[in-house]
Structure 1
Amino acid sequence: MSKKPMFKHAFYFISDSTITDICAIEQAKEACKNELFAFQYREKGKCIDEMIAGAKGIAAVCRKSKVPFIVNDSLEVALAVDAGGLHIGQTDVEYAIARKHLGNDKIIGVTANSVKDAEKAVALGADYIAAAPIFKTATKKDAGDAKGIAFARGVAEIAKGAGMPVVGIGGITLENAYSVLGAGVFTVCAISASLRDGRIKETVSRFNEIIKSK
């Protein structure tokens, strides 16, 4: 029997220390005061040793809060800290390789930038799909053009038959989250919106209210 945690119907938090003075571990401490779908450690521009050191502390915070801890992109970091899982984009390590190294009890999420990507993620057996980018975003420089609500709806329909949760990401705000969730996605992630004003706990709580109302 799989030991993977059940995903809570709650906000998906992704760290980013480039748009705030709040360090990643403090982001985790504040975000984990709320229910979370997962906490993803995403720190660009750091060397592997720095990432592993940072990930260890955050992993401990997430374990204490019973929040799934996901590492972005780096299989090496995920393995080094025994993370709860790994999130991979279309240009990252292949799903089959990640699954081979992580085993069946770890979470692997996959970014879908198209309906075809979503179909592939379902066929591979990913644990969740991140549909991106829904709206224009400045957080991820190579995210590409906004895909829109119709795209989110299409990915949600594809994943529905497999019972796979879909996360809407890219330009999400407290104001437009309703429309994204209305397209059938399970939850949302909003990096800029959750970090820019420094009130992480309160902002995540507001997102959770919206998510749970759908």
Structure 2
Amino acid sequence: MHSLYGRPWWKVLHQKLHRRRHGYYPFQLQAIEESEAKVVHSHGGNSGRRNFRLARRMGLPHCVSFYGADIWKGALNPECLADYREMFQTSALFLVEGAAMRDKVVSLGCPPGKKVQIQHLGIRPEQIVFRNRVVEGEAEIHVLMAGRAIEKKGHLCGLQAFHRVASRHPQARLTIMTWGDKVDRVDRIDRLKDYVVEWGPWRIGSKLSDNCHTPKVPPVHAAMPSLPESQCACRQW
């Protein structure tokens, strides 16, 4: 793990000044050399903007995975769009989650064809053996809802749906892991105060999930929620 976090402030300042001038951090060069990396992968378009000059400097192929807002919102920012267009010409591969995002990437200047590939991140349910999970007697049923408290994540819809469940199954309990500018709106659903057992920030997600039976992901738009996805894979919810 190579990171700026935990380094003395003067070293961080030096790294940031170098990045402002050259487009990458010096410690990234060291990390690539020490690991003998063969490819630079950027998780998200914003990371791609920061890394394509680094990959070019090191003579390595650069792969970028787009996930949503990084490409749709980024297209509205002239500075971001200029970086993307340069990145599209110099980087080797771009991974997207569907045809609509692929077409959007191409419309912004990426050459069509093999340079943009669709990588579906969803699971194959037919390959997963069903496990019937039973809660004995009147034991509590714990549900975890995670994500930023913004409109598109659908927390208000999720809380309304959970209220319907709790009215029929009073032993149901909801744990909410969230942050953002809409937390106060989520917190005002008074009729759920007896069922919401804990609020927590993102960083304690694994701890909160240990005691939950199922994740609840109610996004307004189609999405691939990374935290519940990874925890489902690890814990076989």
Bigger RCO of structures 1 and 2 (CA < 8 A, at least 6 apart): 1
Pairwise same-fold verdict (TM > 0.5): no
- Structure (1 or 2) with the larger CA radius of gyration: 2
